[in-house]
Chain A
């Protein structure tokens, strides 16, 4: 029999997180700081709206681009948050999570061999999606001394005449880094100069703790060359509803909608009705959750300080990214030993790119009570490692 598989797919490395997941799952009593989703239930009024839509029998396809009502609300929301206008008819597309938008955005924009700049550490899907779209991933290794922000120089150095798209993953998973307006202005200049495009994954936009999130589309000349991706998972604790969206210039969105139409048809209908409610009446919930995350973030930063663990202060998402180089172990060795000896799961930084070596991703999508137990064990573990070294 012939090999039924496509080399392009077989050659993609399985997600590093998957491997770790299997180990953790076998350990019954392990506690985890390893999740990338909120611990809050979806606010009840949003769930209730989903239930109500089912009761009313709204169980059919919506239009390909999504419920008009939802697209209008998305357009209003982006206007309210970012001050930028998108035409709900032609410039907004409702997708199955932000992840689908990343995939079809790349597929709509890449010709074979064109390069995609991917700052790492970052979410696991940009690299494989680029490959599947026929593009060539080019990694930009972000540095701890820059607080894992992307600098204009780093961008400039990575650009070639094949460069087509820059992925902009801020607020960042796994580092918690954000890009402030001045940072965005600096890279925007380079982007305009070299005439490249941006896919800006802003799924954590509601979770910033110093100032309001700034989107690259707010910077002059960037709206027309950017696909803005966002969704409901992180802001409204709606990961399982699988609903996100893309906003961008009509020519790109039109082609993305074409792929979406053939591959997906439309986003889940129940989720779309719930999402309308989230955008109309969810501000208070978002604020409450943000406040809780911020308290946990401060709690963790203080705990690291007390145990003398090096960690830059992240101002976004719900992750901290401490450095464990002092122990002379790889991230994976550290995470494995910590799991075996203290039964706490954290994710090695290398799951998000090679330059995550020497770091761990610790999620604070857990109650302070849970964090206390886990961080207590981390303090014990760190103390033991230091004693061993002496």
Chain B
């Protein structure tokens, strides 16, 4: 049940517990217990809402920043990653393979705010060797959800 449960709540964290129990074919109490276990094991880390900010009047700018850093003896990348992820405007930090080390995503109110963050805070960190900032122009798909088109049922209404 665990895998199926996770797949469902990953898509819809607001789903009613009773309904969840019905479609999984188990008792409601089992769902409650399993969710509690998943939370305490840190597998479920939160229940967020996906918002397409583009459709609101609120100005938001997001960027991906490639960061090359010098790893530290005994610490690897953990220390520098922590220094970066503690900034609230940073939405995610990934250690990645390839031509650079950390991929940082950032959300700010304006281009100016983001470039200010990169030049004043990120680049000036001791172990940061270089950065490359990519501003996001349009989100087509995010968290597995297509943002640009709505599902339309184009099937014939009745077929054998």
Q: A residues touching B (Cβ–Cβ < 8 Å)?
A: 15, 17, 20-21, 24-25, 30, 32, 34-37, 39, 123-125, 173, 291, 295-296, 298-299, 302, 345, 347, 351, 368
The reply on B22 being an interface residue by CB < 8 A is yes
Neighbour of B160 across the interface among A17, A25, A39, A302, CB < 8 A = A17
The reply on B24 being an interface residue by CB < 8 A is yes
| Given pairs A35-B155, A295-B24, 7 additional interface contacts (CB within 8 A) | A17-B160, A21-B159, A34-B157, A34-B158, A36-B159, A37-B159, A351-B160
CB pair A345 B157 closer than 8 Å: yes
CB pair A30 B157 closer than 8 Å: yes
Compute how far the CA of A123 lies from the CA of B159 in the bound complex, rounded to whole angstroms: 11
Compute how far the CA of A296 lies from the CA of B22 in the bound complex, rounded to whole angstroms: 9
Compute how far the CA of A295 lies from the CA of B4 in the bound complex, rounded to whole angstroms: 10
CB pair B23 A345 closer than 8 Å: no
CB pair B160 A15 closer than 8 Å: yes
CB pair A299 B19 closer than 8 Å: yes
Neighbour of A17 across the interface among B7, B8, B19, B158, CB < 8 A = B158
Q: B30 to nearest A CB, angstroms?
A: 14
CB pair A298 B158 closer than 8 Å: no
CB pair B159 A34 closer than 8 Å: yes
Neighbour of B158 across the interface among A24, A173, A295, A368, CB < 8 A = A24
Closest residue on chain A to residue B3 by CB atoms: A291
25 pairs across A/B with beta carbons < 8 Å? A17-B160, A21-B159, A25-B157, A25-B158, A30-B157, A32-B157, A34-B157, A35-B158, A36-B159, A36-B160, A37-B159, A291-B7, A295-B4, A295-B23, A296-B23, A298-B22, A298-B23, A298-B24, A299-B19, A299-B22, A345-B157, A345-B158, A347-B158, A351-B160, A368-B23
Q: B residues touching A (Cβ–Cβ < 8 Å)?
A: 4, 7-8, 19, 22-25, 153, 155-160
Cβ of B19: which chain A residues have Cβ within 8 Å of it? Answer: 299, 368
Cβ of A21: which chain B residues have Cβ within 8 Å of it? Answer: 156-159
Cβ of B25: which chain A residues have Cβ within 8 Å of it? Answer: 298
Of A30, A36, A123, A173, the most chain B CB neighbours within 10 A belong to: A36
Compute how far the CA of A295 lies from the CA of B159 in the bound complex, rounded to whole angstroms: 22
Compute how far the CA of A15 lies from the CA of B160 in the bound complex, rounded to whole angstroms: 9
Q: B82 to nearest A CB, angstroms?
A: 36
CB pair A39 B157 closer than 8 Å: no
With A295-B23, A296-B23: A20-B4 Cβ-Cβ less than 8 Å: no
Q: How many A-B residue pairs have CB under 8 A?
A: 55
Q: A167 to nearest B CB, angstroms?
A: 15
CB pair A302 B159 closer than 8 Å: no
Cβ of B158: which chain A residues have Cβ within 8 Å of it? Answer: 17, 20-21, 24-25, 32, 34-35, 345, 347
Per CB-CB distance, the 4 closest pairs between chain A and chain B, nearest first, are A34-B158, A295-B23, A21-B158, A32-B157
Of B19, B22, B153, B157, the most chain A CB neighbours within 10 A belong to: B157
Closest residue on chain B to residue A365 by CB atoms: B155
Compute how far the CA of A30 lies from the CA of B8 in the bound complex, rounded to whole angstroms: 29
CB pair B157 A302 closer than 8 Å: no
Compute how far the CA of A295 lies from the CA of B158 in the bound complex, rounded to whole angstroms: 22
Compute how far the CA of A173 lies from the CA of B25 in the bound complex, rounded to whole angstroms: 23
Q: B85 to nearest A CB, angstroms?
A: 33
Cβ of A298: which chain B residues have Cβ within 8 Å of it? Answer: 22-25
Closest residue on chain A to residue B22 by CB atoms: A302
Q: B128 to nearest A CB, angstroms?
A: 38
Cβ of A123: which chain B residues have Cβ within 8 Å of it? Answer: 160
CB pair A35 B159 closer than 8 Å: yes
Compute how far the CA of A368 lies from the CA of B20 in the bound complex, rounded to whole angstroms: 11
Cβ of A32: which chain B residues have Cβ within 8 Å of it? Answer: 157-158
Q: A259 to nearest B CB, angstroms?
A: 23
Cβ of B157: which chain A residues have Cβ within 8 Å of it? Answer: 21, 24-25, 30, 32, 34-35, 345
Closest residue on chain A to residue B155 by CB atoms: A35
Of A25, A124, A298, the most chain B CB neighbours within 10 A belong to: A298
Compute how far the CA of A314 lies from the CA of B157 in the bound complex, rounded to whole angstroms: 23
Cβ of A302: which chain B residues have Cβ within 8 Å of it? Answer: 22
Closest residue on chain B to residue A21 by CB atoms: B158
Of A295, A298, A299, the most chain B CB neighbours within 10 A belong to: A295
Q: B39 to nearest A CB, angstroms?
A: 22
Q: A28 to nearest B CB, angstroms?
A: 11
